[in-house]
């Protein structure tokens, strides 16, 4: 399906009950022009050349200055050998290196592969091998660069690691303080020709020719669990991402191009942050105020000091703001638009945040395979609690039967399916799964929902076993494989259980080998420390003599989740 087919396909279009009450100021049928990501950035750099583009802990740069850095970096990458289709991994915290590397890789014709810096080496090795990453960009924080350099010795495609000086991205005084007080956190890079300082890439050199790139070209490989829980890379084209950013920008009625400040505390390697907190922000000429990690005190201070106007986040962030003991000391009145995504927004969190801050919290919905935004509650219109809102422009949603794939009526429960120009091209090297997930031009989300008479969608369950904690996907199989390495474990099964702060928390159910007296959660977490990221670490452990099984002898995750729900007395799955 072409990038624009879903927008103009009216003769075969499904019923669209949302059109009768679509948000004021938003046109579902608006033209959505496929563009390349470098074109979007270069257009913003021309329109907002003297406007601030990026603020990192007080070091600010304009769109014009950032554009010059991107051009220099892109030329250096071409001289380094980056060509059309080269996969380049970005293993970066939020910092000026991300926008420089992101747009430079794409301008050089490469493909960005977003990698989570918190992942264990084995996870990174598998993703690098799967995506065919030959060049990796990181910074000289020992926790990152040591891992990146070690990956060079694996039997895989990686042959070059570009390392930026983290201290060089900080304001002068903070840079000096960081190098003096945090010297142990700075890596000592080896004398290895495969390890290249980022400054060498950006240095002046001979002129280069940039390859021609088109909107349909592959731009990003974004790892996700899809509908099966097995990590795989979603192929997002330039058009997928730029159109989704344009759709989101159109939805946020009232946003003032060149005059907004967005707090980027969600990591850019996360697809929600990449599209909404980064690409959409660039399209609107927003000043991106980036923090390298989530710290609630720093968030509160930054919102108040920098007069943040746009705040995309996950429910955990909004809950933390509401629960901050000194919340009344901070002036949060500048925030006009808060968007919650990445995980289901508990009604209590939404209501408490709105009551305490006076800012309406809009819940949206998306998935990596849709670049990611699919729907959102309207900025001007009925913000329905518990709903993920209406489809954004050019996007169709239908509910179909999980038994025979027939289209269901309003109010009927079934699988949520999506069609639109932001839907991925498919999974990288997963043809069989592509046929199942992209059926007849519709993306099967694996989520169960209902649609009401106004076209608002409500997610009521998940088909897939993914655990979503703090907006991140955790794959039970990944955790189970790590847990099974513990010498005391006989069998284990991993599931998500409700957690007020995180949405869901990882719980391990295990039986022990004969002769093993006990195993504590602290002992298990210590064993898993170098095998799983902090996000994937279990928060609960339940040791049993026997784990439940299905009729054919498989361990039954469903039985465990049903027991958990009954024990909690909420009647809902954990």
Residue 495 belongs to a domain with what CATH number?
A: 3.30.300.30
Q: In 242-275, which positions are buried (b, 16+ CB within 10 angstroms) versus exposed (e)?
A: bbbbbbbbbbbeebeeeebbbbbbbbbbbbbbbb
Q: Which residues contact 97 (CB under 8 A, 6 or more apart)?
A: 137, 139, 164, 169, 198
Domain extent at residue 498: 467-568
Q: Which tens digit of pLDDT belongs to each residue from 152-174?
A: 988 899 999 999 999 999 999 99
Backbone φ and ψ for 518, nearest 5 degrees, come out as -160, 165
Closest to 231 in 3D by CA, of 483, 429, 478, 463? 478
Residues of the chain with pLDDT under 70: 1-14, 225-230, 461, 550-553, 570-574
Q: Is 550 exposed, middle or buried (CB count within 10 Å of its CB: 0-12, 13-18, 19+)?
A: exposed
Q: Is 455 exposed, middle or buried (CB count within 10 Å of its CB: 0-12, 13-18, 19+)?
A: buried
Q: Is 46 part of any domain?
A: no
| Domain's final residue, options 195, 213, 231 | 213
Q: Is 177 part of any domain?
A: yes
Q: Is 279 part of any domain?
A: no
CATH code, domain carrying 137: 3.40.50.980
Q: What is the pLDDT of residue 230?
A: 67
Q: Is 84 part of any domain?
A: yes
Q: What is the pLDDT of residue 572?
A: 43
Q: What is the pLDDT of residue 550?
A: 62
Q: What is the pLDDT of residue 21?
A: 94
Q: Which tens digit of pLDDT belongs to each residue from 212-251?
A: 999 999 999 999 865 455 679 999 999 999 999 999 999 9
| Domain's final residue, options 196, 213, 230 | 213
DSSP string across 532-552: S-GGGS-SEEEE-SS--B-TT
Closest to 111 in 3D by CA, of 139, 94, 79, 135? 135
Distance CA 287, CA 323 (A): 27
Q: What is the pLDDT of residue 212?
A: 97
Q: Which residues contact 10 (CB under 8 A, 6 or more apart)?
A: none
Query: By three-state DSSP, how is residue 226 classified?
Result: coil
Q: Is 95 part of any domain?
A: yes
Question: Which H or E run includes 505?
Answer: strand 503-512
Q: What is the pLDDT of residue 545?
A: 92
| Domain's final residue, options 213, 243, 276 | 213
Query: Dihedral of the CA atoms 40, 41, 45, 47 (nearest 10)?
Result: 20
Q: What is the pLDDT of residue 558?
A: 82
Backbone φ and ψ for 195, nearest 5 degrees, come out as -105, 110
Q: What is the pLDDT of residue 9?
A: 46
Q: Is 181 exposed, middle or buried (CB count within 10 Å of its CB: 0-12, 13-18, 19+)?
A: exposed
Backbone φ and ψ for 190, nearest 5 degrees, come out as -75, 155
Whether the bond between 103 and the residue before it is cis, its omega within 30 degrees of 0, is no
Total count of domains within the chain:
2
Q: Is 78 part of any domain?
A: yes
Q: Is 437 part of any domain?
A: no
Q: Is 27 part of any domain?
A: no
């Amino acid at each position: 399906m072409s990038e624009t087919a879903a927008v103009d396909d009216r003769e075969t279009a499904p019923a669209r009950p949302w059109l009768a009450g679509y948000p004021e100021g938003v046109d579902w049928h608006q033209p959505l022009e496929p563009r390349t990501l470098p074109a979007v950035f270069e257009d913003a750099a021309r329109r907002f050349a003297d406007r601030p583009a990026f603020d990192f802990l007080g070091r600010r740069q304009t769109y014009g200055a950032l554009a010059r850095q991107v051009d220099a970096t892109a030329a250096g990458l071409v001289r380094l050998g980056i060509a059309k289709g080269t996969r380049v991994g970005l293993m970066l915290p939020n910092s000026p290196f991300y926008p420089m590397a992101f747009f430079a890789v794409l301008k050089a014709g490469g493909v960005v592969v977003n990698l989570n810096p918190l992942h264990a080496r084995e996870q990174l090795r598998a993703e690098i091998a799967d995506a065919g990453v030959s060049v990796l960009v990181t910074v000289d924080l020992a926790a990152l660069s040591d891992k990146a350099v070690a990956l060079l010795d694996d039997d895989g495609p990686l042959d070059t690691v570009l390392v930026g000086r983290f201290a060089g991205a900080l304001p002068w005084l903070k840079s000096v303080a960081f190098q003096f007080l945090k010297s142990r956190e700075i890596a000592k890079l080896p004398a290895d020709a495969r390890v290249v300082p980022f400054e060498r890439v950006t240095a002046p050199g001979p002129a280069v020719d940039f390859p021609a790139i088109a909107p349909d070209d592959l731009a990003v490989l974004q790892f996700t669990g899809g509908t099966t829980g097995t990590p795989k890379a979603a192929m997002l084209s330039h058009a997928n991402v730029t159109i989704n950013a344009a759709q989101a920008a159109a939805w946020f009625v009232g946003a003032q191009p060149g005059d907004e400040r967005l707090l980027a505390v969600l990591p850019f390697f996360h697809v929600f942050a990449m599209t909404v907190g980064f690409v959409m922000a660039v399209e609107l000429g927003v000043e991106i105020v980036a923090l390298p990690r989530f710290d609630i005190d720093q968030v509160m201070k930054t919102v108040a000091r920098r007069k943040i106007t746009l705040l995309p986040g996950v429910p955990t962030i909004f809950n933390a703001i509401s629960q901050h003991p000194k919340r009344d000391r901070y002036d949060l009145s500048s925030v006009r638009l808060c968007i919650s995504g990445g995980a289901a927004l508990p009604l209590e969190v939404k209501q408490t945040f709105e009551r305490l801050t006076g800012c309406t919290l809009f819940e949206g919905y998306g998935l990596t395979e849709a670049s990611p935004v699919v729907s959102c509650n309207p900025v001007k219109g009925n913000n329905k609690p518990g709903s993920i809102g209406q489809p954004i422009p050019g996007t169709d949603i239908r509910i179909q039967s999980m038994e025979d794939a027939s289209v269901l009526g309003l109010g009927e429960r079934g699988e949520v399916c999506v069609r639109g120009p932001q839907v991925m091209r498919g999974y990288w090297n997963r043809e069989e799964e592509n046929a199942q997930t992209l059926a007849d031009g519709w993306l099967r989300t694996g989520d169960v929902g209902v649609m009401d008479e106004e076209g608002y969608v409500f997610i009521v369950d998940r088909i897939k076993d993914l655990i979503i904690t703090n907006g991140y996907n955790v794959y039970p199989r990944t955790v189970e494989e790590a847990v099974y390495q513990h010498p005391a474990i006989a069998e284990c099964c991993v599931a998500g259980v409700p957690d007020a702060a995180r949405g869901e928390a990882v719980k391990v159910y295990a039986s022990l080998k004969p002769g093993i007296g006990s195993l504590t959660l602290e002992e298990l977490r210590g064993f898993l420390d170098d095998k799983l990221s902090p996000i994937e670490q279990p928060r609960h452990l339940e040791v049993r003599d026997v784990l439940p099984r299905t009729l054919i002898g498989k361990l039954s995750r469903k039985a465990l989740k049903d027991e958990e729900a009954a024990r909690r007395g909420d009647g809902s799955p954990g």
